[in-house]
Amino acid sequence: MSDIASNLAEISRRIAAAARTAGRDPAEIMLVAVSKTHDDAAIRPALEAGQRIFGENRVQEAAAKWPGLKAAFPGIRLHLIGPLQTNKVREAVALFDVVETVDRPKLARALAEESRRTGRRPACLIQVNTGREPQKAGIDPDQADALIALARDTYDLDVRGVMCIPPADEDPTPHFRLLAGIAARNRLPVVSMGMSGDFEQAIADGATHVRVGSAIFGSRG
Ligand SMILES: *Cc1c(COP(=O)(O)O)cnc(C)c1O
pLDDT at 221: 62
Ligand 1: does its nearest atom lie under 6 Å from the Cβ of 57? yes
Are 157 and 111 spatial neighbours (Cβ–Cβ below 8 Å)?
A: yes
Instruction: Say whether pLDDT at 219 is over 90.
Output: no
pLDDT at 188 over 70: yes
Mean pLDDT of 189-194: 98
Q: Is the pLDDT of residue 16 over 90?
A: yes
State which of 37, 56, 57 you would mutate to test the pocket of ligand 1, scoring each by most atoms of that ligand within 8 A of its C-beta.
57
Instruction: Name the average pLDDT for the chain.
Output: 97
Give 126-168 pLDDT, tens digit per residue.
Answer: 999 999 999 999 999 999 999 999 999 999 999 999 999 999 9
33 DSSP assignment = E
What are the pLDDT digits (tens) for 85-107? 999 999 999 999 999 999 999 99
- What does the pLDDT read at residue 2? 79
Counting atoms of ligand 1 from 1, which one is nearest the CA of 163? 13
3-state SS record for 58-77: CHHHHHHHHHHHHHHCCCCE
Q: How far is the CA of 34 from the centre of ligand 1 (A)?
A: 6
Tell me, what's the pLDDT at 1?
Answer: 67
What pLDDT score was predicted for residue 106?
Answer: 98
The string of DSSP codes covering 80-147 is: E-S---GGGHHHHHHH-SEEEEE-SHHHHHHHHHHHHHH----EEEEEB-TT--TTS-SB-GGGHHHH
Q: Give residue 143 CA to ligand 1 midpoint distance, Å.
A: 24
Which of 165, 195, 219 to mutate for ligand 1's pocket (most ligand atoms within 8 Å of CB)? 195
What's the mean pLDDT in 190-209?
98
pTM: 0.97
- Digit-coded pLDDT (tens) for 38-81: 999 999 999 999 999 999 999 999 999 999 999 999 999 999 99
pLDDT average, residue stretch 164-185: 97
